[in-house]
């Protein structure tokens, strides 16, 4: 069965294949392939982790709705959220803004969004490139590359049966799945007028919330492209999750014709960050995180394999 | 007078304006704004400099000619050459490849080019993002972000009257001015059949040649977008240059209708890297660099202001 996402032009298996190709091509002795989210190299007595990510085709909706600034925040969020997942504290980065043509308004708003995101994530943007590329870019493309430092990298190897899985509430769709969303908007199945504001809400920046207790957390997973299927990168043990009722925007997307199970492979379904903690630290961590985040206790790790998701419709999905 | 480059859709003044906007938006106390090529932050007792750059619309010609791999090398070169200009030794980086659709052949060749460039520059590619972005990207866009370390940053402040200006031979057009080149190809004024191979030659990687003597060099300038006008970033003293006869490809571009003086503001004209050295070290440095590079003694720094270029046609251009 061809997924709706693939019909929209995004083939997740193809991307996986490309990532594997890149990984095989660049294998070098000095690089710590943590295998998910960001890699790192040893620098003195610390690890320097580096990540690059863009905001995808969300920029098309940004131009359509005129809501541009959030994409700047998205770009920072996509990177800093991934960096904390490997146990790194984000320090500084650069942005890459590629434009179809001079667009003063877009540039100004993107920069303002990047600055707001950088302030929120407590990082510095130390450089960037703004390129005008007629013939390659339609509208604009935005990506950032950010590095972080770590004393001890998180690889997921600490995760064990009995651990508790927490979820931090998302802001909405964040920054993934927009090719699919655009397809159903273009098909007239989702109203941009009704859902534009929801769809353009920026990715929540979780890094500042988790950094103070990073040492107490066993593993983290930023729910982006591939959504919950990426939890496999954390551990081979069975992860058992009961997902909460998602925000309305996800139901609207699903009602537009995306199969129920595919929703959990493409979208965050209301959970932007997954956190693995030991049972004895659970209460303290929930209490701390609840000061700034909405925290769900989603489930636990147990013996066995694969991810078992009980969806909001109480259907069971195995990934 | 509207320049040919602007007619091709690239307004250099507009880009300058955007860079200034970015610089003003992101000003932060911890960042060392070296003001050219790359910025840096203090990290322990060292400086970490970070740079981001892409290969621009050269990708369009790559797809047209089928000569893809060099764009991977370009992407590394554009970054490591800029990093050494601030006195940093390039260490590692990430790539960002945005595709219109799955293109196995392109991805494989780009990765191979990136790997070749990384090996030549002695850096590690520790991560990357391959994104499929229908509706935003036509063909492919490639950028890299690389960081380097430095004990002492080069700001150009050491440059003084009496210093000698050397030039390292370029490989051809390198990675700038391709929107203009494409315009004259589309207008039928330059034959892609005759010049395709020349136009697709990758940017020369100079970093490995200069790193062993980086301490002895006062300042460096990577000749990319804006070409020789960027030398103003190095020093306010008068720079007096006599340019050599450029490779044929530049003459072909000029003959296609680009004004003689504009050539020196858009293209490297056969010189990919400019190096400022003190008179007493000149001979040693030329001898060392000549092992791997073709070195020109182009001129000198003197009292006064601005850049004075004697072109290959013996015309005088003041920038």
Can you give the CATH number for the domain in which A193 is found?
A: 3.90.650.10
The pLDDT, as a whole number, for residue B8 is: 75
B165, β-bridge pairs: B276, B299
Identify all chain B residues contacting A134, using CB atoms and an 8 Å cutoff: 8-10, 57, 179
Identify all chain B residues contacting A105, using CB atoms and an 8 Å cutoff: none
A119 and A190 part of one domain? no
- Determine, yes or no, domain membership for A157: no
B173 and B304 part of one domain? yes
- Determine, yes or no, domain membership for A84: yes
A304 touches chain B (CB under 8 A): no
CB-defined contacts A:B, below 8 A:
213
Residue of B nearest to A128 (CA): B52
- Determine, yes or no, domain membership for A21: no
What gap in Å lies between CA B71 and CA B173, rounded to an integer? 12
- Determine, yes or no, domain membership for B49: yes
What gap in Å lies between CA A81 and CA A168, rounded to an integer? 12
With CB atoms and an 8 Å threshold, state whether B22 touches A134. no
- Determine, yes or no, domain membership for A24: no
The pLDDT, as a whole number, for residue A1 is: 58
B168 and B304 part of one domain? yes
The pLDDT, as a whole number, for residue A128 is: 92
What gap in Å lies between CA B244 and CA B298, rounded to an integer? 8
B297, β-bridge pairs: B166
Domain end marker among B150, B173, B203: B150
A143 and A170 part of one domain? no
Identify all chain B residues contacting A125, using CB atoms and an 8 Å cutoff: 26, 28
Q: By C-alpha distance, which of A179, A225, A186 is closest to B136?
A: A179
Q: What are phi and psi of A67, to 5 degrees?
A: -95, 90
pLDDT tens readout for residues A242-294: 999 999 999 999 999 999 999 999 999 999 999 999 999 999 999 999 999 99
Q: What are phi and psi of B200, to 5 degrees?
A: -95, 0
What gap in Å lies between CA A260 and CA A219, rounded to an integer? 27
What gap in Å lies between CA A298 and CA B158, rounded to an integer? 60
CB atoms within 10 A of CB B13: 10
Q: Largest Cα–Cα distance of chain A, in whole Å?
A: 57
- Determine, yes or no, domain membership for B283: yes
A168 and A121 part of one domain? no
The pLDDT, as a whole number, for residue B34 is: 57
What gap in Å lies between CA A142 and CA B144, rounded to an integer? 13
What count of Cα atoms within 13 Å lies in the side-chain half-sphere of residue A305? 0
What length is written for chain A?
A: 319
Q: Which token pair is A289?
A: 């995180």
B94 and B238 part of one domain? no
Could you list the pLDDT tens digit for every one of the 319 residues in chain B?
Answer: 577 777 777 777 887 888 777 777 776 655 665 555 678 888 888 899 999 999 999 999 999 999 999 999 999 999 999 999 999 999 999 999 999 999 999 999 999 999 999 999 999 999 999 999 989 999 999 999 999 999 999 989 999 999 999 999 999 999 888 889 999 999 999 999 999 999 999 999 999 999 999 999 999 999 987 888 889 889 999 999 999 999 999 999 999 999 999 999 999 999 999 999 999 999 999 999 999 999 999 999 999 999 999 999 999 999 9
The pLDDT, as a whole number, for residue A36 is: 53
What gap in Å lies between CA A79 and CA A290, rounded to an integer? 23
A139 and A259 part of one domain? no
Identify all chain B residues contacting A138, using CB atoms and an 8 Å cutoff: 135-138
Identify all chain A residues contacting B38, using CB atoms and an 8 Å cutoff: 127
B66 and B194 part of one domain? no
B72 and B113 part of one domain? yes
The pLDDT, as a whole number, for residue A264 is: 94
Can you give the CATH number for the domain in which A76 is found?
A: 3.30.1330.10
The pLDDT, as a whole number, for residue A281 is: 98
With CB atoms and an 8 Å threshold, state whether A94 touches B56. no
Q: Which residues of B201-238 are buried (b: 16+ CB within 10 A; e: fewer)?
A: bbbbbbbebbbeebeebbbbbbbbbbbbbbbbbbbebb
What gap in Å lies between CA B305 and CA B319, rounded to an integer? 10
The residue range of the domain holding B281 is 164-318
Give the residues of chain A that fall short of pLDDT 50. none
Give the mutation candidate from A38, A136, A142 for the B interface (greatest B CB count, under 10 A): A136
What gap in Å lies between CA B239 and CA B161, rounded to an integer? 9
B 189-248 residues with CB below 8 A of A?
none
Give the mutation candidate from A34, A52, A79, A124 for the B interface (greatest B CB count, under 10 A): A52
B109 and B171 part of one domain? no
Reported ipTM: the value is 0.91
- Determine, yes or no, domain membership for B238: yes
CB atoms within 10 A of CB B21: 16
**Pick from A15, A50, A134: CB nearest B127:** A50
Count of structural domains within chain B: 2
B217 and B86 part of one domain? no
A129 and A275 part of one domain? no
Q: What are phi and psi of B147, to 5 degrees?
A: -115, 160
- Determine, yes or no, domain membership for A107: yes
Domain end marker among A94, A120, A150: A150
Domain end marker among A150, A174, A205: A150
């Amino acid at each position: 069965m061809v997924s709706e996402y693939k019909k929209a032009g995004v083939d997740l298996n193809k991307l996986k294949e490309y990532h594997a190709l890149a990984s095989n091509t660049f294998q070098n002795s000095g690089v710590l392939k943590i295998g998910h989210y960001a890699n790192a190299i040893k620098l003195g007595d610390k690890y320097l982790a580096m990540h690059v990510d863009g905001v995808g085709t969300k920029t098309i909706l940004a131009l359509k709705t005129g809501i541009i600034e959030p994409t700047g925040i998205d770009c920072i969020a996509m990177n800093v959220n991934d960096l904390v997942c490997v146990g790194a504290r984000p320090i500084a980065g650069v942005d890459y803004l590629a434009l179809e043509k001079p667009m003063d308004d877009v540039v100004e708003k993107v920069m303002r969004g990047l600055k707001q995101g950088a302030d929120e994530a407590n990082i510095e943007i130390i450089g960037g490139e703004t390129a005008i590329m007629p013939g390659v870019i339609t509208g604009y493309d935005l990506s950032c590359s950010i590095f972080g430092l770590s004393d001890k990298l998180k690889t997921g190897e600490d995760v064990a049966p009995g651990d508790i899985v927490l979820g931090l509430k998302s802001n909405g769709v964040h920054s993934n799945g927009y090719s699919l969303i655009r397809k159903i908007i273009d098909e007239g199945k989702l109203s941009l007028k009704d859902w534009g504001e929801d769809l353009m809400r920026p990715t929540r920046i979780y890094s500042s919330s988790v950094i103070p207790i990073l040492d107490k957390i066993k593993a983290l997973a930023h729910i982006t492209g591939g959504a919950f299927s990426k939890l496999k990168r954390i551990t081979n043990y069975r992860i058992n999750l009961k997902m909460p009722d998602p925000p309305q925007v996800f139901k609207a997307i699903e009602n537009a014709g995306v199969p129920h199970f595919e929703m959990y492979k493409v979208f965050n379904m209301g959970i932007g960050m997954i956190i693995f903690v030991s049972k004895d630290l659970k209460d303290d961590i929930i209490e701390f995180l609840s000061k700034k985040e909405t925290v769900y206790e989603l489930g636990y790790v147990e013996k066995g394999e694969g991810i078992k998701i009980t969806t909001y419709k109480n259907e069971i999905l195995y990934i």
